[in-house]
Amino acid sequence: MLEANLQSTPIPEFTDPETTFGLPENLMINSTFADDAKVTVLNLWKHDLVLLMTATDENMPARRGEPPYVSGESTAEMLRRVSNVLLALDAGRTDPTHRA
Protein backbone atom coordinates (compact mmCIF):
# COMPACT_ATOMS: atom_id res chain seq x y z
CA MET A 1 0.00 0.00 0.00
CA LEU A 2 2.81 2.41 0.87
CA GLU A 3 4.61 1.62 -2.40
CA ALA A 4 1.50 2.54 -4.37
CA ASN A 5 1.26 5.85 -2.55
CA LEU A 6 4.92 6.66 -3.15
CA GLN A 7 4.62 5.86 -6.84
CA SER A 8 1.44 7.87 -7.40
CA THR A 9 2.48 10.85 -5.28
CA PRO A 10 6.23 11.48 -5.50
CA ILE A 11 7.72 12.95 -2.34
CA PRO A 12 10.46 15.45 -3.24
CA GLU A 13 12.65 14.40 -0.32
CA PHE A 14 12.76 10.86 -1.71
CA THR A 15 12.85 11.60 -5.44
CA ASP A 16 15.36 14.46 -5.46
CA PRO A 17 16.99 15.08 -2.08
CA GLU A 18 19.71 17.24 -3.61
CA THR A 19 17.19 19.78 -4.86
CA THR A 20 15.22 19.63 -1.62
CA PHE A 21 18.12 19.94 0.82
CA GLY A 22 21.09 21.14 -1.24
CA LEU A 23 23.65 19.46 0.98
CA PRO A 24 23.35 16.36 3.16
CA GLU A 25 24.28 18.38 6.24
CA ASN A 26 21.10 20.40 5.75
CA LEU A 27 19.07 17.22 6.03
CA MET A 28 20.97 16.20 9.15
CA ILE A 29 20.04 19.39 11.01
CA ASN A 30 16.46 19.40 9.71
CA SER A 31 14.13 18.88 12.67
CA THR A 32 11.13 17.99 10.51
CA PHE A 33 12.33 14.44 9.86
CA ALA A 34 13.02 11.62 12.29
CA ASP A 35 16.46 10.01 12.12
CA ASP A 36 15.00 6.90 10.43
CA ALA A 37 13.53 9.05 7.64
CA LYS A 38 16.84 10.91 7.28
CA VAL A 39 18.71 7.61 6.94
CA THR A 40 16.24 6.45 4.28
CA VAL A 41 16.64 9.67 2.28
CA LEU A 42 20.43 9.59 2.62
CA ASN A 43 20.62 5.97 1.50
CA LEU A 44 18.54 6.80 -1.58
CA TRP A 45 20.75 9.83 -2.23
CA LYS A 46 23.87 7.67 -1.85
CA HIS A 47 22.45 5.06 -4.24
CA ASP A 48 21.74 7.74 -6.86
CA LEU A 49 25.27 9.11 -6.51
CA VAL A 50 26.82 5.66 -6.94
CA LEU A 51 24.72 5.14 -10.09
CA LEU A 52 25.78 8.56 -11.39
CA MET A 53 29.45 7.76 -10.76
CA THR A 54 29.06 4.43 -12.56
CA ALA A 55 27.41 6.11 -15.54
CA THR A 56 30.13 8.75 -15.66
CA ASP A 57 32.82 6.05 -15.52
CA GLU A 58 31.14 4.42 -18.51
CA ASN A 59 31.20 7.74 -20.38
CA MET A 60 27.48 8.39 -19.94
CA PRO A 61 27.28 11.72 -18.07
CA ALA A 62 23.84 12.47 -16.69
CA ARG A 63 24.16 16.26 -16.82
CA ARG A 64 25.17 18.44 -19.71
CA GLY A 65 26.51 21.96 -19.38
CA GLU A 66 25.69 22.26 -15.69
CA PRO A 67 28.03 22.42 -12.73
CA PRO A 68 28.03 19.12 -10.84
CA TYR A 69 26.40 20.47 -7.68
CA VAL A 70 25.24 23.67 -6.10
CA SER A 71 28.49 23.81 -4.17
CA GLY A 72 30.53 23.00 -7.29
CA GLU A 73 31.67 19.68 -5.86
CA SER A 74 32.29 16.48 -7.74
CA THR A 75 30.02 13.46 -7.47
CA ALA A 76 32.67 11.71 -5.40
CA GLU A 77 32.83 14.61 -2.94
CA MET A 78 29.05 14.68 -2.57
CA LEU A 79 29.07 10.91 -2.02
CA ARG A 80 31.67 11.42 0.72
CA ARG A 81 29.48 14.06 2.38
CA VAL A 82 26.37 11.86 2.23
CA SER A 83 28.35 8.93 3.70
CA ASN A 84 29.74 11.14 6.49
CA VAL A 85 26.25 12.32 7.45
CA LEU A 86 25.04 8.71 7.48
CA LEU A 87 27.94 7.82 9.79
CA ALA A 88 27.17 10.79 12.05
CA LEU A 89 23.51 9.81 12.31
CA ASP A 90 24.50 6.23 13.05
CA ALA A 91 26.94 7.37 15.75
CA GLY A 92 24.19 9.46 17.33
CA ARG A 93 21.92 6.44 17.46
CA THR A 94 24.48 4.21 19.15
CA ASP A 95 25.82 6.86 21.53
CA PRO A 96 24.38 6.09 24.99
CA THR A 97 24.42 9.80 25.86
CA HIS A 98 22.31 10.64 22.79
CA ARG A 99 18.77 11.66 23.57
CA ALA A 100 15.98 11.67 21.00
What confidence tens digit (pLDDT) does each residue in 25-80 have? 999 999 999 999 999 999 999 998 998 888 876 666 655 545 455 556 788 899 99
When pLDDT is averaged across residues 82-99 and rounded to a whole number, the result is: 78
Number of domains in the chain: 1
Distance CA 20, CA 13 (A): 6
46 falls within a domain: yes
Alpha-carbon Rg for the chain in angstroms: 15
47 falls within a domain: yes
pLDDT value, residue 74: 85
**Domain range enclosing 41:** 2-94
